A and B are shown apart, each in its own frame.
Chain A
Amino acid sequence: MLSQIVSALIVMVVGVFAAAAYFYLTNRVLDLALPDKGDVVAASRNLRIRAMIRPWLFLGPAILLLTIYLVYPVIATLILSLYGRDAQEFVGVSNYIWAVNDAGFRQSIFNNILWLAIVPAACTFFGLVIAVMTDRLMWGNFAKSLVFMPMAISFVGASVIWKFIYDYRGEGQIQIGILNAIVQYFGGQPEVWLAIPFWNNIFLMIILIWIQTGFAMVILSAALRGIPEETIEAAVIDGASGWQIFWKIMVPQIWGTIATVWTTITILVLKVFDIVLTMTNGQWNTEVLANLMFGWMFQGGGDSGRSAAIAVVLMLAVTPIMIWNIRRANEEMKGR
């Protein structure tokens, strides 16, 4: 066991050393191969060529890794989605036709839309409300820190935590899940929450909302602090109520941040996988695309065609946000 950690540490050191060595040596070789010596013409030509090559030395490892692990796979997945289960025969769009007619896929699309409609909105709303409420509290930072804490917990860990909350014991027994205990305390019937179709989706979403509200809160809280005091003071002098100040003065000024938070959580929601896998594994109509895709990757020996087709659908869903992000980043860069 200890030797495993030691070897990990060694790898870390070797990895960092190798990376450092790569950058140092390639830069050195470049300087030696194209020196500043000789006549003025040659020296300035060398300088120019060095300035042309050096950025690519700096970027080389990153570009190589990104190409192998992200760019190539995206293209390969697109192609694989047009092939059969073993990637041997070309089947055209029949994987997509299968998907459209498959009950599991349709269920996943429906559920994903449900997740998209609820989770980003709920996280942003709760995040904003908590950010506003904690803003002027003496113990506001402490409160925020505790709401933010679930961000550090893995989806699997959160699933265990919430499965305990949803735990079910037969009727009349002592409930050790707090939700059923509360229900029973008020005279209700204990329920197997995760097996109630449709509503069980909501119970899964609550987990993600619990994790992500802190993220929304932190970002929105920073944005709220950035609002110029004068605008609020002016509104107060004009006799605006707290409610009006919030909706008409504060929210419009942080609109951009709200959009960022919303899209970030949207992307996360599209990729939600761990929660569904560990809580229900898609049973009782809780399947989502990412888990369906994972299932087709391995079950029954795996079907790379269908699995790839589902991944492509996910990619398509992300694409609008991707384009929006790139546009926004480009505008920001022009400002610099």
Chain B
Amino acid sequence: MSIGKSLARIGLPRLIVNITVLFVVALWVMPTLGIFVSSFRDKDQLAVSGWWTAFSSSERNEAGRLAGLDKMKQEGPLYVISGNVLDGKGGTVKAFGTKAVAPRAYKPDAEADLGDGIKLTINSDGSYRYTSTAPFTEDNTSRRIYLAVATPPVFTLTNYKNVLTGEGIGQSFVNSLTVAIPATVIPILVAAFAAYALSWMSFKGRTLLLAAVVGLIVVPLQMSLIPLLRLYNDVGTFLGVPSKTYAGIWLAHTAFGLPLAIYLLRNYIVGLPKEIIESARVDGAGDFEIFTKIVLPLSFPALASFAIFQFLWVWNDLLVAMVFLGTEKDKLVLTGALNALLGSRGGNWEILSASAFVSILVPLLVFFSLQRYLVRGLLAGSVKGG
């Protein structure tokens, strides 16, 4: 089938749409891919070539010297100096030259005539043979040469090993888990009870309370920081304990997550079939039994949605962690550690890329395995502003 025919079958507009979407997806994935590929690259290659060249050999230009007069040997009529220009560094010589203005004048594996009976052969593997018909002198030994060296791509886990142990990312990973697990689970129960009360119990001020919850969803965290920091310091001094503790940040994250949690769960719980709850009431079940035996199990999808939300939020948070947990090295969560590394290791991309990937690994796993619940949560609670 000709291209024209198959094009007509697919339809040109569809083809354009397909290509555009492909382009958009590539654009969206490319940034993350760059960090991902870079984190596995050899540190020296990473510093001198773009990550998009990672799978091809990278070429670097080097300058070196041939050996000195002391290495001179006589072979029949020729005076010979030999050795290896790469010194066992690995790689392949792609071209060489003897003048800075023409660093790629000669090809490897072939004899280059330098004039005056002097010849130089540099092989791809770096070994060379420098010959002369007359004895070498001080002037033409230790000769400066220029090399174009290609190195095959090197992929390594060294970067990960380094950041996990040497840069404290391992400790930060543990800290992030320590913060995120309780801060995700504790608010769920508190919010679920409140959401049930707001949907199936009648009392004065219910509408007002719901309005307040909706309002609190968008209150900027910045409004809370200063008074809470002072409060934490006062409580810490009063009780004689440090003011920046894990307990403190768990409570903070719990409270900051509550408005959205209550709103999300309430929207779900209020939509449960009325008949089930009414008939349970008729059978003499109290609110506590109805909640624990009927509402909680039925609300699992909503609970899961919120749990994913809250986990991603807590894991990715920087502000709350900086304020309530502090910026000492052993207490840094992953985001904080990454922020510190950006300051201290600004140009060391092998460290930054590996650290960044460690920090986004868990959220990505959660994202790809539980995307369904995440989307459902988003659709139910899109009032929240992050």
Contacts and interface: CB of A to CB of B under 8 A. Distances in A.
Interface in A131-186: 133-134, 137, 140, 143, 145-165, 167, 174-178, 181
A66 B216 contact: yes
Nearest to A154: B316
5 contacts: A59-B194, A73-B228, A130-B24, A154-B335, A325-B215
Interface stretch (B95-103, B122-130, B153-161, B357-365): B357-365
Contact of B32 (A69, A140, A153, A268): A153
A196 B3 CA distance: 47
Contacts, number: 349
A181 B363 CA distance: 30
A310 B112 CA distance: 72
Given A62-B258, A72-B227, A153-B316, A167 B214 contact: no
A264 B182 contact: no
Given A8-B178, A58-B193, A161 B35 contact: yes
Contact of B186 (A12, A175, A177, A274): A12
B210 interface: yes
B174 interface: yes
B255 interface: yes
B50 A61 contact: no
A146 B28 contact: yes
A178 B49 CA distance: 10
Interface stretch (B13-21, B62-70, B299-307): B13-21
Interface stretch (B86-94, B133-141, B378-386): B378-386
A204 interface: no
Contact of B316 (A65, A155, A177, A268): A155
Contact of B220 (A271, A274, A278): A271
A20 to B, nearest CB: 6
Interface in B338-370: 338-339, 342, 349, 352-353, 355-356, 359-360, 363-364, 366-368
A153 B359 CA distance: 9
Contacts of B32: 149-150, 153, 161
Interface in A315-336: 315, 318, 321-323, 325-326, 329-330, 333, 336
B186 to A, nearest CB: 4
Nearest to B336: A156
A250 interface: no
A311 interface: yes
Interface in B25-74: 25, 28-32, 34-35, 38, 46-52
A251 interface: no
B203 interface: yes
